Amino acid sequence: MEIIKLLYFSLRKNGVLQLLIAVFTFFSLIFLITLLRFSRHHDQLLNDISERNEFFENVQVFHLTDGHGGFFYGAEVHEEPIFLQADGLERMKEFHYNLRLSNEFYVASAHTGMFLEIDASQFLGGEAFHFGYEWGLTGPLADGRGNYFYQIKAASLDYAAWNLSSMEMKHGRAFQAEDFSLFSGRIPIILGYQYANYYEIGDLITMYFLAFQFDFEVIGILAENQRLFNEVTGTYLDYSILKPLISFGNPLNEEERRFQSIYYNNKSLSAYIFVDDTPEAVNQMHNIIYTAAAHLNIPYSFSMTDHTFVLHGEMVNLIHHHTGVIHRLLINSILLIALIILFLSTIKYHRQKSVYQVHALLGISKSKQWLALLLENLIFNGLTVFIALYYSVFYSGIMYTSYQRAFFSTYDISRWPIFWEAVIFDSFSFYHLSLQPALSYSLFLLLVSIIYPTIKIHQLYKGVRSK
C-alpha cells in the first residue's frame, strides 16, 4: 500500500512524466503518419506492378527446352545434334520464324546462359562481372597462344522479351525494333548499372560470342536492379551486358554455319510461349508447334512453367526493399527513443531526488523506494515497449498482406496485424525483420527499468550518508 502511495504521489506530481507522455505521443504520431504514407506509397507501387504485369495475369507460360528431358513431340530424332546436320540451320531458322508467326500465342526469348569473352587486358570491370563469379570462377582463361580471356556475364533477349521486361534506363537509349534486325557489322548493347563507372555511351568493345569476334557498341546503361521478365532477383543484370538476339544472313562458310546453328538453336530453345489461359488455346498451341516441329523434324520439348515468376520477382524485390527500409527506420527510431528515455529518466530522477531523500529521512525503506521507482519506470517504459512492438507487427503486416496479394491474390484488410497473428502466421520471417529490433528495444528498456532505479537509489543512500 505504501508503495502504491509513493507511486501515486510521484505520478500525480511529476511533470516530467507528462512530458514523457507528450513526447511519446508526438513520436507515435510521427511514426503513424510515416507508416500511413509508407503504406500508401507501397500500395501505389503494388498497383504499378500489377498494371505492368497485366499481360501475365491471364496467360499460361510454356518454356521450350533443349530436348533432353520432358516429353518429346518430335516424330523422329536424328542421332546428331540438329546444328551439326547439313540442313539443320535452315530448319532451325524456319522453325524459329514460324513460332513467331502465329497469332494464337506470343513468343519471347531471353536467357542468361550465353556469356561473352573479352581480352583480359582490355576489360575494365572487376571480378563481379565475370561469368560464374558467384561460384568462384573468376580467373582468366588461356587460349594456348599466350592470350588470356575473361568470360563475362551477358544476357540475350529478343525484342518481345525486351518489351515484356519493362526495363528502365540510367543513360542512353533503350532497344528499338531495328536493333534486333539483320546483323550489319556491329551489335548494339546495353550495359548493366554497375558498368556505368567503366564505359560510356558510344564506346566500342570488341568481344567474342560463341568464339566469333564482334564489335559491340554501347547504346545505353540500365538503371539499378533491372531484371529480365523471367528472372526472380534483380542483381544479375547490374553486372551484365544486355545483347539483342539479332538475325544473321546466310553463312558464308562452314565456320559461320556452325556458329549460326548453335546460335539459332539457343535462340529457339530459350523461348517462352505465352498462351491464353483456356484449354482450347493451349491445345491449339500444342498442335501448331507439334505440326511445325514435325514438318521440320525438329526435336524439342516444352514444359509448363510458373507464370507467377514475373510477379514473384518484382514482389520479392519490393518486399526486400521495403523490409530494409522498415528495418533501418525501426533501428533508428529505437536508438532515438532509447536516448530520449535515458535523458528523460535522468531529468526525472534529478527532479525527484529531493523526494527520495525526504522519504529516506521519514523511514521509507530502500527496497520500497526501489520498488516504487521500478514500477514507475515499468509503467512508462512498458507503454513505449507496447508501442514499439505493436508498430513492428503492424509494419510486418503490411509486408505480409503484400505477399498475400502478390502470390495468392488476396488482400483482406481485416487480416491486418494483431498480436496473435504474429505467432500463427506461417510466414513468420516477415515479422522477424521488424520484431527483432523491437524486441531488442524492449529488452533494453527492461534492463533500464531495473538497473536505473538500482543505481539511483544506491547513489541516493550513499549521498544521504555523506551529506
Q: From CA 334, how far away is CA 340, in angstroms rounded?
A: 10
Q: Is 13 an interacting residue with respect to another protein (CB under 8 A)?
A: yes
Q: Is 413 an interacting residue with respect to another protein (CB under 8 A)?
A: no
Q: Is 461 an interacting residue with respect to another protein (CB under 8 A)?
A: yes
Task: Select from 355, 378, 439, 446 the one that contacts another protein (CB under 8 A).
Answer: 355
Q: Which is nearer to another protein, 19 or 101 (CB)?
A: 19
Q: From CA 27, how far away is CA 287, in angstroms rounded?
A: 64
Q: Which is nearer to another protein, 35 or 355 (CB)?
A: 355
Q: Is 3 an interacting residue with respect to another protein (CB under 8 A)?
A: no
Segment contacting another protein (CB under 8 A): 24-32, 112-120, 207-215, 361-369? 361-369
Segment contacting another protein (CB under 8 A): 85-93, 148-156, 355-363, 399-407? 355-363
Q: What is the number of other CB atoms lying within 10 angstroms of the CB of residue 9?
A: 14
Task: Specify the residue for cell string 513468420.
Answer: 428
CB of 369 to another protein, least distance (A): 9
Rounded to 5 degrees, what are φ and ψ at 301? Answer: -135, 160
Residue 425: partners with Cβ closer than 8 Å, 6 or more residues away = 400, 431
Judged by CB under 8 A, the number of residues near another protein is 21
Closest Cα to residue 221, out of 279, 262, 168? 168
Task: Select from 366, 416, 440, 448 the one that contacts another protein (CB under 8 A).
Answer: 366
Task: Select from 284, 305, 317, 357 the one that contacts another protein (CB under 8 A).
Answer: 357
Residue 47, H or E segment: helix 15-52
CB of 454 to another protein, least distance (A): 14
Q: From CA 265, how far away is CA 294, in angstroms rounded?
A: 16
Q: Is 361 an interacting residue with respect to another protein (CB under 8 A)?
A: yes
CB of 381 to another protein, least distance (A): 23
Q: Which is nearer to another protein, 142 or 464 (CB)?
A: 464
CA dihedral of 134, 139, 144, 148, whole degrees rounded to 10? 110
Closest Cα to residue 207, out of 129, 264, 133, 108? 129
Task: Select from 2, 48, 134, 200 the one that contacts another protein (CB under 8 A).
Answer: 2
Q: From CA 50, how far away is CA 314, in angstroms rounded?
A: 10
The interface mask with another protein, positions 47-86, x = CB under 8 A, is ----------------------------------------
Residue 400, H or E segment: helix 366-408
Q: Is 76 exposed, middle or buried (0-12, 13-18, 19+ CB in 10 A)?
A: exposed
CB of 467 to another protein, least distance (A): 7
Closest Cα to residue 450, out of 357, 370, 352? 370
Give how far Cα 237 sits from Cα of 56, 112, 154, 195, 229, Å: 21, 9, 8, 10, 11
Task: Select from 25, 365, 427, 459 the one that contacts another protein (CB under 8 A).
Answer: 365
Residue 170, H or E segment: strand 169-172
Segment contacting another protein (CB under 8 A): 184-192, 274-282, 350-358, 448-456? 350-358
Taking phi over 0 as left and psi of -120 to 50 as alpha, with beta for the rest, 175 belongs to beta
Q: Is 358 an interacting residue with respect to another protein (CB under 8 A)?
A: yes
Q: Which is nearer to another protein, 197 or 367 (CB)?
A: 367
CB of 2 to another protein, least distance (A): 6
Task: Select from 22, 101, 418, 464 the one that contacts another protein (CB under 8 A).
Answer: 464
CB of 371 to another protein, least distance (A): 12
Q: Which is nearer to another protein, 253 or 466 (CB)?
A: 466
Segment contacting another protein (CB under 8 A): 176-184, 204-212, 231-239, 358-366? 358-366
Q: Which is nearer to another protein, 248 or 461 (CB)?
A: 461
User: What would you report as the CA-atom Rg of the chain, rounded to the nearest whole angstrom?
Assistant: 33
Q: Is 103 an interacting residue with respect to another protein (CB under 8 A)?
A: no
Here the cell at position 335 is 536508438
Q: Is 364 an interacting residue with respect to another protein (CB under 8 A)?
A: yes
Q: Is 354 an interacting residue with respect to another protein (CB under 8 A)?
A: yes
CB of 433 to another protein, least distance (A): 45
Q: Is 360 an interacting residue with respect to another protein (CB under 8 A)?
A: yes
Contact 320, 143 (CB under 8 A): no
3-class DSSP state of 296? helix
**In the complex, which residues of this chain contact another protein (CB under 8 A)?**
2, 5, 13, 354-355, 357-368, 461, 464-465, 467
